[in-house]
Amino acid sequence: MKTVFIKVKDLTYVYHRGGVSEQVALSRVELEIKKGEFLALVGPNGSGKSTLARHLNALLLPTEGEVLVDGMDTRRSENLWEIRRRVGMVFQNPDNQIVSSLVEEDIAFGAENLGVPSEEVRARVDEAITMTGLSGYRNHAPHLLSGGLKQRLAIAGVLAMRPDCLVLDEPGAMLDPSGRCELMNTLIRLRDSMGVTIVLLTHQMEEAAKADRMIVMSEGSPLLLGTPAEVFLNDELLQDLGLELPVAAKIARRLRRRGFLVPKDIVTVGDMVSYLCR
């Protein structure tokens, strides 16, 4: 049984627009995120994914309820530093995350700001470069890199801060399919080799299918929560929300309707190919 890293208890969040109108973005959310798991967060536009993600490193604080990161309450200001160190955020647009004119300096920036000794920073930068496959780009200018490389650079910078958890808010949105695929591989490698907890917000069900668990958000609350295989069995509900099943799950469903006994856990193209070849 994996230990719980982040606990969300009865979380409600209300945005106030200039004190005039209110928008309830999250409503009574209960959630546990386990150490070392890869959790995907999907849901239609405006369902509360980003608002929830921003609570995980205290960028937003609960209107009601609480969020505990490694046991630390995000509402207590004395915990802020440790929480931000443990939970790193990566956003949609990699251009907004570049701070230096040289790749290795850019990666070092966050760790330096944490007051990490310079020798240790160098070691961490080397490791982050290896983990994200940026070895050939050390001395390149960040703003000249492709979108996919820029996003890997953003991840490397957060990694050098040695977070226990990475929260990524649609990091693939500005990338082409091959950039997105590379990004997924990087995230899976981080979970497998360093035990980093990954929380990925995405509109791509193919990506969510590769996670350990997924949450489908709807109108500010988790509607479905389980392994991708469990969640994809609710195909009608997903369709009502405008969410498409991944291709492999669609094919599996059609084969089942024709009487083939396709196992429930076939949710990625890789799974489907090995099943069909058997």
For the bound state, the minimum distance from the C-beta of residue 205 to Mg ion, rounded and expressed in Å, comes to 16
- 47 near ligand ATP (CB under 6 A): yes
Figure out which of the listed residues 36, 46, 133, 226 binds ligand ATP, where binding follows CB under 6 A: 46
> Considering CB distances under 5 to 8 angstroms, the limit depending on partner class, which of ligand ATP, Mg ion, none binds residue 46?
ligand ATP
Residues in the chain: 278
Nearest approach in angstroms of CB 172 to Mg ion is 13
61-93 per-residue burial string, b: 16 or more CB within 10 A, e: under 16: bbeebbbbbbebebeeeebeeebbbbbbbbbbe
Report the alpha-carbon distance of residue 169 to residue 49 in Å, rounded.
Answer: 8
Asked if 222 interacts with ligand ATP (CB under 6 A), we say no
Sole window of 41-49, 135-143, 180-188, 192-200 interacting with ligand ATP (rule: CB under 6 A): 41-49
In the complex with ligand ATP, the residue whose CB is nearer, 46 or 226, is 46
The correct pick among 1, 3, 17, 278 for binding ligand ATP (CB under 6 A) is 17
Task: Tell me which stretch binds ligand ATP (CB under 6 A): 1-9, 47-55, 134-142, 259-267.
Answer: 47-55
What is the C-alpha separation between 159 and 156, in angstroms, rounded? 5
Q: Tell me the three state secondary structure of residue 8.
A: strand
21 binds ligand ATP (CB under 6 A): no
Using CB distances below 5 to 8 A depending on partner kind, what does residue 274 bind out of ligand ATP, Mg ion, none?
Answer: none
Taking the complex as a whole, how short is the minimal distance between the CB of residue 202 and ligand ATP, in angstroms?
9
Query: Please, what is the minimum distance in Å from the beta carbon of residue 49 to Mg ion?
Result: 5
132 binds ligand ATP (CB under 6 A): no
Strand partners, 118: none
- In whole angstroms, give the CA distance from residue 108 to residue 153: 11
Alpha helices in the chain (DSSP H): 49-55, 80-86, 103-113, 118-131, 147-159, 177-194, 205-208, 228-232, 235-240, 247-257, 269-277
Q: Please report whether residue 62 would count as binding ligand ATP according to CB under 6 A.
A: no
Cross-strand pairs, 224: 216
How far apart (Å, rounded) are the C-alpha atoms in residues 92 and 171?
A: 4
Pick 51 or 79: Cβ nearer ligand ATP: 51
Whole-angstrom distance, CA of residue 120 vs CA of residue 116? 7
- Out of 25, 108, 128, 243, name the contact with ligand ATP by CB under 6 A: 25
CA 234, 175, 35, 12 torsion-angle sign: negative
Q: Does 258 bind ligand ATP (CB under 6 A)?
A: no
Q: Which residue's CB is nearer to ligand ATP, number 89 or number 134? A: 89
Which CB, 34 or 54, lies closer to Mg ion? 54
